[in-house]
Amino acid sequence: MSSGVHIAFYRFVRIDDVDAVCARLRALADGLLGTILVAGEGVNGMLAASAEQIATFQQRAAADEVLSSAFAAMTYKQTASERIPFSRMMVKAKREIVPLGVDGLDMPARVDDVAATDVPPQQWRELIRRDDVVVLDNRNSFEFEVGRFRGAVDPGVVNFRDFRDFVERHAPEWKAEGKQVAMYCTGGIRCEKSSPWMQDLGLKVHQLQGGILNYFKEIPDADADFDGECFVFDNRVTLDTNLRDVGRQRSDIDG
């Protein structure tokens, strides 16, 4: 596969039989490359193949008896892929599809709360320029260094679970100052997982709908707000604000 299509997708939805969903995904994803994580709280994945193969997977997953409850309403972020971004196909059962480390957070039951915090890309630019808004990068520090929205705060974390500690330390200060939080991540999933928990802390939270990659897709002059490139967790390594594969090697990022 010298070129093709890359899709990223996730959905917080109750999965009663994780093993059965994993087994069906392994069967339907045969011949594709990428990773799909499945947990009781939902599905999170990235796949690459020809456009025809990807379309076939999407259609079959949406119609499959075991998978349709998760995939019939799945939203996919699709980009062109000029080089093979994955080396294998892997479907894994996990405790969480994205780890936050907060016990009792029922994400499938909080979907409506999450949706209420979404800010479309077209409104994001105005929001992050407000004086009463803290722009919070909900990613690892090395991702922040590769590229970030201008004026954003780096939580300085290595592991996503550490994001919880940063927010808990600063929430009283933000509330006392009347600050709202506008946070973003690569594709939206980390913000969606954090948003209802942050609401429970009493914070007014906004999240960039679809994450950085959706902003790049929807806003032609995204470089007016975003410095650098967006790190992606596959062999493309980074994408510029026009969603082009920059051609980096992972060693360029690791130092």
Domains of the chain: 4-93 (3.30.70.100), 107-254 (3.40.250.10)
Q: Going by C-beta distance under 8 Å and a sequence separation of 6 or more, which residues neighbour residue 72?
A: 62, 63
Write down the pLDDT at residue 100: 85
Length of the chain: 255
The predicted model scores a pTM of 0.89
**Distance of alpha carbon 110 from alpha carbon 72, whole angstroms:** 19
In a structure prediction context, what are the per-residue pLDDT tens digits for the chain, which is 255 residues long?
A: 446 899 999 999 999 999 999 999 999 999 999 999 999 999 999 999 999 999 999 999 999 999 999 999 999 998 887 777 899 999 999 999 998 888 889 999 999 998 889 999 999 999 999 999 999 999 999 999 999 999 999 999 887 678 999 999 999 999 999 999 999 999 999 999 999 999 999 999 999 999 999 999 999 999 999 999 999 988 889 999 999 988 766 556 665
Write down the pLDDT at residue 67: 98
Q: Find tokens 């082009």 and name the residue.
A: 244
Q: Considering the candidates 22, 185, 191, 230, report the single residue annotated as catalytic.
A: 185
Write down the pLDDT at residue 2: 47
| Residue range 197-245, pLDDT digits in tens | 999 999 999 999 999 999 999 999 999 999 999 999 888 899 999 999 8
- In the chain, the amino acid numbered 178 is G
Look up 185 and say whether it is catalytic. Answer: yes
